[in-house]
Each structure stands twice: as C-alpha cells, then as structure tokens.
Structure 1
C-alpha cells in the first residue's frame, strides 16, 4: 500500500487541471461571445452612420442635378431669361414634392455697374421692376432676379448677394471653378426663424463651357441657385423616428444643425457609440458628429454573453461537484482499502470476499459518476439550443461551435475515464475454474476484425493452441497491447505486429512486438500507472487506463510485464502467464 499516496497526489493534480481548463473554457466562451456581440452592434452603428451620411450626400447630389437642369434651361434660351420662362421651368421640377428641404430655385444675374440701367430696363419690360438692395461700393452687383415659388420667397427678390461675404465668396468660387458650390453658414432673408442656412450655386456662361478661369470671368452671366434652411433640409432626409442615431452638422466652427440636446426625444446621456465624419461638401467641409440614442441601446442590448457565462458557471459547478465526488470516493476507497488490508493480514481467509467488496465499491462509484457527466452534456445541448440564432450567423458559427464541441469532447473523455475505471475494477472478477478455453488463433482473428487491419499485419508464433487459465483477462491483455500498437503507430495501415507465445513448462512467456515510434526508456515504468499517457496532441485520445489494466491482470497471477523499447525503434512488451489454474500464484498483498 506504500504506492497509494503518490497516486492520490496525481489524481488531485488532475482535478485541479480539469477545474482550471473548465473555468478557462467558460471565461473564453464568455469573452468570445461578448466580443462577437460587440462587433455585431458596432457593425449596426457603422451601417446607420454610413446610411445617414450617404443620405446627406445623395440628397445634395439630387439638388445639384436640379440646379444644373436650370443652367441647361437658361442656356437653351441663350441666357435671355424672363419671369414667365423661369416660372414654367420651376413648375416642371415639382420642387415641393421631389426636393423636400429646398426653399426654392432662382437665378442671380451678374451685373457690371455700367450695365445696371440696361438690367433695370429689361426688368421693367417684363412688367416687374426690381429694387436692388442693400447698397455697397463693389464694381458689380449680384441681384436675385427670379425665384420660385415667388410668394414664399418674395423677400429675397432684389437682394444683392454681393453685399455679404459668405454669399459673395461662394458665388465667385462657383464662377471661377465652373462647378457647383455652396456658401458658408448664413441666415436667409425669407427665414422668419433666423436659423442657419446656405445657398447652393451652379454657374451660367455665355456660349460654350469655358476652360480657363479668365474665360469664365469674361463670359459669366450669373448663377442658378437654391436657398436652404438646414433644419428643413435634414427633416426632408429622414424622420428622427426612423433613425437610431442622432447627429449634428458643423461648417468650420459654426454648428448649423444639432440633435444632441438633452431635450431631444430618446436622448442618451451615455451613448453606446459616437463618431465624426468629415464630408467635402461642394467647396466646404461639413463635419457630421453622430451618436446613438436610447432606441439603439434598446435594440442592441444582448443577454447572450451573460447567458453563456451563467451556463458555463453552472457547468463549472457541476464539474467541481463531480470532481469532489470523485475525490471523496477515492479517499473512501483508500480508507476502506487500508482497513481491509489490516483485516486481511489477520484474516487471510476473508481476502477474496473483502477484495470483491472494494472492487464493487469502485465500480458503483464510477458508475454513479456517469449521471453528472450526462447532466453536463444535456446542459450543453440546452445552451446550444438557446444560442441557435447566434450559431446560424456566419461570423459566429466557427469559434463558438468549437467551444461547445470541446465541452462535449471533455464530457466524452470523462465517460471514457469512468468506463476505464469500471473495467480496471472488474479485472479480478474473471478467471473462474469453469471459464472456457480460448483458442489463440481465434483471438488473433478477432483482433484483426476489431481493429480493421490486414491479417498480414499481425503475425502469430505460438507453442500452444489455446489458453486454459483466465482466458477472459488474457484476451483483454492481448487486445490492449495489439490495439495500442496500431492506435499509436504513425502509419497504422503499414504497421506490423508480432505475437509470440512460448511454452516454458510451468508457464507461458508472451511477447507483443511492433515497429512503431517506440517509447523513451525514462517512460517505461510510467506508462503502466493509472491515468498516465504519452499521447501527443496529434494522436488519438487515451484514458491512460489500458496498460494499467494489462499490468493488474498479469500481476494477479504473480507475474509482471516489462517493455523493451527506444524512440524510433518500436516496442516489445513481454510477460508470463500460467498454463493452467494450478500454476496461478496470486500475491494476496498486491491484490489488496
């Protein structure tokens, strides 16, 4: 019994390793799920952000198309516009229906001071004289001549946009570039609310489109323009009720639109996401500042990571409970074994009965441990069902499914361990006098069939035709040794196994030799201990019990097993076996 203390220590280390791995898997699954959920929510915000910015850019592009259609209309008239023509043109645009947010569409003439009388005469001939205002000292004037709908924009007719820097600068930039331009922030004269707005210009030239700045200035006739109140522009884009982000617009340092005030519906004091996008808007830089609102928070609050964490912790508790039960069972088994050993030293006649009780106890304990393992497997199925939507996602499927499958693999591993323990405990329950004899050739044929190998891969050389003593355990020993030879061979289909059974008179000597990778000498003793395995990460799973069963079955007849091997040169396992029951000398102290 001196060997039991270190064995118990190894079991305790295994317990700690299982708990650590289980906890690591739980935390890993939780962190991965949380990361995936956060990525999905961020992707939704990015999509909302891009959609909002694209709406602004797309709507401005549509307004630009409308202005260029006004330029084309003016060119078709060689620049000789009148109020009736402009009214007819604007009606074809259906501004209020197709261009929500725009206040109107108009035309601004470029008038040198020397040409001012002719400008007034032309307006008078139309029956609509215009009073240009306000006064300034520039050598040219930029009066708003036409704008539709005229009733809503009457206050703007006659306004000389040259008097104010932002209006003038944007118009001259459009003239010199030959492209559409907007002004910096202004307040429209027709806006009674005095809210930020801007003007949108497209230039008109006499004749063909000029190619140089000098030509553009020389042949410049005026601009088709549209006045905007930013608030109305945004309202025409998308209703707040249909957006789960709020934004503000800034032109330089000036905020021209803002939805970030606490009085805004669904205002989130601590938004989940914020971002800033700078847009090149027809010669100006608009800064779009976006933030999520309470609607976004409500739609993107996921309990999936918490569910995974809770489920993982439940599994962790079950694993710990299982290991505590195993530890207690082990301690109880050791305690009972010590008590029985003391009794056996005094009462050898009760040895077999006491040993059977110990083995039955371990068998029952191992059998009872299957229930918590099945509970863990059931809980994994429940979690997978709860996360069905997540697992269907192409982004989430691989990693999360791998974690769930890993838990299942560990449960299967636990079942294999308990099954191995049960088999280990039952080694001594065979070998009765009435057990049938075992033909050696039949045993080899069964191994070939069970392991699905070519019969030529297993060579048998035997001095006896059948096994007369404890044939059940002899079959188990040979199956384990031959099975391991194929299982851990780097090329199982090419493996060769030689089985030799020699008659030594009072016993049989048996050897199983393979041509696999071999075993380093420092591990020759270790491989026969319970739960010990030399499996590499790429090799098949092993419970570490098979060779322990082999050793126990051989030792119960008073013999031992040895291995001759070195790395890269295969391995040969050798042991003795009684020819019949009369030659089986069981060491009662070892069995206990």
Structure 2
C-alpha cells in the first residue's frame, strides 16, 4: 500500500488488480459455461432434426418394402390377380398394424385402347358397376383396379391416374426407371379434408423387370401403389407432442405440411434454432423447414451460466466492500496518527484509544458481514434442498449441482476471511488475570489440534512457563504450526521444532519445519494481509495467518525474522516479553 493510498483511503492498486482479475475470471467462467451450454443445446437441436429426417427416410423405405411385396405378388400371378386374391394379400400384409400412416395399398393397370375392353370385362365380372373415370385425351389408361382397405378408399376405385399430370408423370417415371417413385403434391379423391397428399408407385412387369428402357415400356403391366395424406404420414411417423421441433414440408415450392402456424400449441414465434434440409428421394425433392418449438425452449435453458455469474458477482461485491472498509479504516488510523504532538504520553494514550475504536470497527464490520454471508449460504442450501429431487433425477444437469457447491465453497471462503479479520482485530487485547502459558502443554495441544504425532512436534527450551501475554503467544504458535501443516506436501513426514532462548528482558522463540521452504523473493510479502503463496493443488488460504503473527509480535515490541530457501524448510524467529505488559507498566510507574 502506497503513502498516497493510506492518506486518501483509496483501495491499493494491488487489491484493485486482484479484484479486477477475479471479476475477469468470473466473467470468463460465465462466458465459457454459456458457450458450452449453447454448443450442447445446438447439438440437441441437430440431433432432433437428424432424427426426424432419418425417421422420414426409414418410414418411406418401409413403405417401399410393402410396395415391392405387392410387386412380387403381382408378378407371381403374371400380373393378373383377382380381387379376392389381392384382398387376401393385403389382409396378410396387415398394413394397419405394420405400416401406420399409409392410406392403403392397391394396383394400377396400364392399358391401351386395344386392351381396355377386355380389362373392363374382367373387372366387371368382380364389380358389375366398375367404370374408368374421368375421361381424358391421353393415349394410355391407368385405372386403379384394387385398393385395400376398400371402405375408406372406395372413391379411388376405377380412377384413371393418367388424367392428371403429377399422377401420370410419376407413374411413367416409375415404369421407365424400374424404381419406386412418388408424385408431386396432389389431393386424394378419398380425402374429404382435401389436404395435400401424394402417391407412391412401384412398377411390375411381365416376366420380371427388364434391363433396357424400351423393354420396360413394352413389358410393363402397371404399378403397385399406396396413397398418402401427408398429415397422416407425419402423425404416424412421430407425434408432435413427443418432438421438441416443428417442421414444414414443401415440394416444388408448394407447402404440403406445416407446423409453423400460430395456432399450434407448441409454436415458438422466435425459435432458438432453425434449419432447412433438402430431402431428395423417389424422384422428388422435399424441403424440410425445421425449427425448435416451445418444448425445446423449456427444456434447454441457460441456468448454470446464470448461477455462476450471479454467485461470482455477489462474492466479488462482498470482497470489494470489505476492502473498501479496510481502506477507510486505514485512512482513519492515519488521521489519528497525524494528530500526535510533542506531548508523547497524552497523544500515545489518545492513539491507543483510537486504535481500540478502529479494532472494534473492524471487528464489527467483519462480524456484520457474517450475516449476509450466512444468508447466502442458507439460501443456497435451501435451493439445494428444493432441487434435491431434480438433482438426483437421471436427467438432471450435473452443472447445476456443481454451481451450487461452488457458491457454498465461496461462502466458506468468506467465513474464513471474516474470522481471520476478527482474529487480527483482537490482537493486543489481553484477558485479565490470565494464567501463564505452559509450553509443554501447548506442544501437546498443538499436536492434537493438527493431528500430529508426538514425534512430529518437539520443544527445546529451558523455560516452561511464559507470563507475557500467554493468549497472544498461543495464537502465534497456532498460526506458525498451522502454516507448516498446511503447506507441507506430506504431513506424515512433517517435523516441527520449537526452541526458546532466554535473553535479558525477553524470550527468543524459533519455529522450524522441514517443509518445502519459501523463495527469498516472496519472504517479505507473505506477512501482508491477504497474501498467500498457495499453489494449484494446495488448500485455500485467507492470507491472514502470518499477518496475525507479525502484528502480535510487533505489539509487544518484537520483530519476526524468517530464514528459508526452496526445499530447505522454514525457520520463523521472534522476541516475546518475559512478563505481562501490565506488570512492566506498573514497574515503570513505580520507578517514576
């Protein structure tokens, strides 16, 4: 902290840099989490889109198999099946059970003027009122001979598909290529709703399918076909309420199916994702406009990034508030110190009173900060309890539980920080009539507190009892030994030796360990508030412990020295008064 910062009460530049970097990390974590969430959500959309496209392809391939089964049946009868035979075939095919979405399966015969009369005689022997309709000027006839189930499709029996361009073009293409083909958009005569549909053709030939186009045209007998209403096809494919996307389908610029209407229950006027897929099959090109719907939006939110951002901002605001209060406390301390006059005794007493007030202020400020910190921790625990069923569910997002645990971890960090500040503020306030400190008992107590074996912490001293501020001395030992335990890589190998040498009017203590040591370039800064040399795998530290040691020693007129190097352990040394400060003061008064 610079002199100017002390006098103005501004937050030191180092603390500003630390808080700024912390905020940058918070926003970086939020941005990274948000980006990852966006990628995952987009992948879910892509998966849903690909699934629907795959289902359409697979379902059409299954319908095609049914048509080729009909072709095999026709060719096994040399293209001349009777109505009862076709009904038996369709009944055994069980299209209602195995092919949902299909309207039926039938046969279309290809006729010329020469074969038309004999064909009518054969059909009228099965249905006396059979007629080919409607009339047209084409040179070929393509009447629908059979269609099962016939009940809902009765209006199609006898319909000559050659009368209409889309029906006729696809049928002839199927004949010439020998492949299954679908028509462009049509309205089925049996569809009372007059909604868009199409026909699906598979050709059959006399003596099997020829290799050459000319032979196919000469030997073609007709096609097995299936009529489809697109709406029923999609309902049979995958119900809308089971999908998180909506689709519309267009063929040659004509919309044949549309779920992007505002009247749809799951319609999202501003979809999170949208894509256009071209589906080229069976001689047609379908354009699929795929969009996410409200169900997709509801199941794909950005909860985790928001929790990280809010939690990080709250913690940073608390830390910044604490730093501001500490900076103001330092400013007040300097203001009081500047008023010291030549009357040293009077001004010293005033300064002591001022310091006491500041310590109380720091204590009160840190104590008051505990309330909102506990509130944040309690609220987070309540959220975890409320979400317990969700967090244990198989489809729960693990990022939410991780974010809540991160907030609780930061709350514990703030608790440790405020406790350290409270401990720091208590230094110099001795308890009345305090018993002397028994060094051997302290060693035993420290070993128990830090889980050390007796051989791991040793005392080398001719002095056993210390009268000078025993509470403060114990606090110094606790922080130094705790520091050794915290930063030792393998606690089982830790060795701590506490020595005491008696000098003229004080005791000189040393606390030595066999830990990793401290690089000389960091040895001065570790005694400052909130400074820590924590590495990535070391435990969290408040950076207050050694500041407590330094202040406690200096309050009693001593100085802390450090001897250490990397890999060679650490030795802290300091002076401590032999008797209580109040005893020294009494003796001084008597001498005066």
Measured in 2, the distance between the counterparts of 1:582 and 1:311 equals 46
C-alpha distance after superposition, 1:394-440 (max 9, x if no partner)? 787544444433333333233223322332333323387x5444343
Match of 1:562 in 2: 561
Structure 2 unpaired stretches of 5+:
none
What is the SS of the residue equivalent to 1:80? coil
1:41 deviates by 6.5
Match of 1:512 in 2: 511
Q: Are residues 80 and 40 of structure 1, via their aligned partners in 2, closer, same or farther at CA, if it must alter by over 3 Å?
A: same
> In the TM superposition, what are the counterparts of 1:367-382 in structure 2 within 5 Å?
367-382=367-382
Match of 2:160 in 1: 159
Measured in 2, the distance between the counterparts of 1:457 and 1:319 equals 37
Q: Are residues 344 and 449 of structure 1, via their aligned partners in 2, closer, same or farther at CA, if it must alter by over 3 Å?
A: same
Match of 2:424 in 1: 424
Q: Are residues 474 and 26 of structure 1, via their aligned partners in 2, closer, same or farther at CA, if it must alter by over 3 Å?
A: closer
Q: Are residues 150 and 79 of structure 1, via their aligned partners in 2, closer, same or farther at CA, if it must alter by over 3 Å?
A: farther
Match of 1:410 in 2: 410
1:541 deviates by 2.5
Alpha-carbon contact 1:245-1:290 (below 8 Å) kept:
yes
What is the SS of the residue equivalent to 1:563? strand
Matched, 1:522 2:537: no
1:288 deviates by 1.7
Measured in 2, the distance between the counterparts of 1:244 and 1:554 equals 68
Match of 2:448 in 1: 449
Alpha-carbon contact 2:340-2:347 (below 8 Å) kept:
no
Measured in 1, the distance between the counterparts of 2:96 and 2:404 equals 58
1:10 deviates by 8.7
What is the SS of the residue equivalent to 1:530? coil
Measured in 1, the distance between the counterparts of 2:428 and 2:413 equals 25
1:367 deviates by 3.0
Match of 1:461 in 2: 460
Match of 2:274 in 1: 274
Matched, 1:228 2:203: no
Q: Are residues 348 and 57 of structure 1, via their aligned partners in 2, closer, same or farther at CA, if it must alter by over 3 Å?
A: closer
Measured in 2, the distance between the counterparts of 1:397 and 1:302 equals 11
1:478 deviates by 3.0
Match of 2:136 in 1: 134
Q: Which one is further off, 33-42 or 530-539?
A: 33-42
Alpha-carbon contact 2:500-2:510 (below 8 Å) kept:
yes
1:229 deviates by 4.3
C-alpha distance after superposition, 1:250-281 (max 9, x if no partner)? 23444333444667777654334322233344
Matched, 1:553 2:552: yes
Alpha-carbon contact 1:527-1:534 (below 8 Å) kept:
yes
Q: Figure out how many residues of one structure are paired with residues of the other and give that number.
A: 581
Alpha-carbon contact 2:341-2:347 (below 8 Å) kept:
no
Match of 1:290 in 2: 290
1:476 deviates by 2.8
C-alpha distance after superposition, 1:365-392 (max 9, x if no partner)? 4333322332332343345456657755
Measured in 2, the distance between the counterparts of 1:365 and 1:342 equals 33
TM-score between both structures, scaled by the size of structure 2: 0.77
Q: Are residues 350 and 58 of structure 1, via their aligned partners in 2, closer, same or farther at CA, if it must alter by over 3 Å?
A: closer
What is the SS of the residue equivalent to 2:416? helix
Alpha-carbon contact 1:464-1:503 (below 8 Å) kept:
yes
Measured in 1, the distance between the counterparts of 2:534 and 2:282 equals 69
1:55 deviates by 5.8
Structure 1 unpaired stretches of 5+:
none
Measured in 1, the distance between the counterparts of 2:544 and 2:575 equals 20
Q: Which one is further off, 48-57 or 219-228?
A: 48-57
Measured in 2, the distance between the counterparts of 1:385 and 1:23 equals 29
What is the SS of the residue equivalent to 1:369? helix
C-alpha distance after superposition, 1:299-355 (max 9, x if no partner)? 569695798467776666666555555554454455455557887543557776666
Q: Which one is further off, 557-566 or 456-465?
A: 456-465
1:569 deviates by 2.5
What is the SS of the residue equivalent to 1:204? strand
1:488 deviates by 1.6
Measured in 1, the distance between the counterparts of 2:14 and 2:409 equals 17
1:249 deviates by 1.7
Alpha-carbon contact 1:311-1:383 (below 8 Å) kept:
no
Q: Which one is further off, 209-218 or 541-550?
A: 209-218
1:452 deviates by 1.9
Alpha-carbon contact 1:273-1:292 (below 8 Å) kept:
yes
CA RMSD for the aligned pairs? 4.8
What is the SS of the residue equivalent to 1:500? strand
1:552 deviates by 2.8
C-alpha distance after superposition, 1:448-496 (max 9, x if no partner)? 2222223333343323344343333333333333332232223332233
Measured in 2, the distance between the counterparts of 1:329 and 1:23 equals 24
What is the SS of the residue equivalent to 2:488? coil
What is the SS of the residue equivalent to 1:429? coil
> In the TM superposition, what are the counterparts of 1:463-542 in structure 2 within 5 Å?
463-542=462-541
TM-score between both structures, scaled by the size of structure 1: 0.77
Q: Are residues 157 and 55 of structure 1, via their aligned partners in 2, closer, same or farther at CA, if it must alter by over 3 Å?
A: same
Alpha-carbon contact 1:33-1:400 (below 8 Å) kept:
no
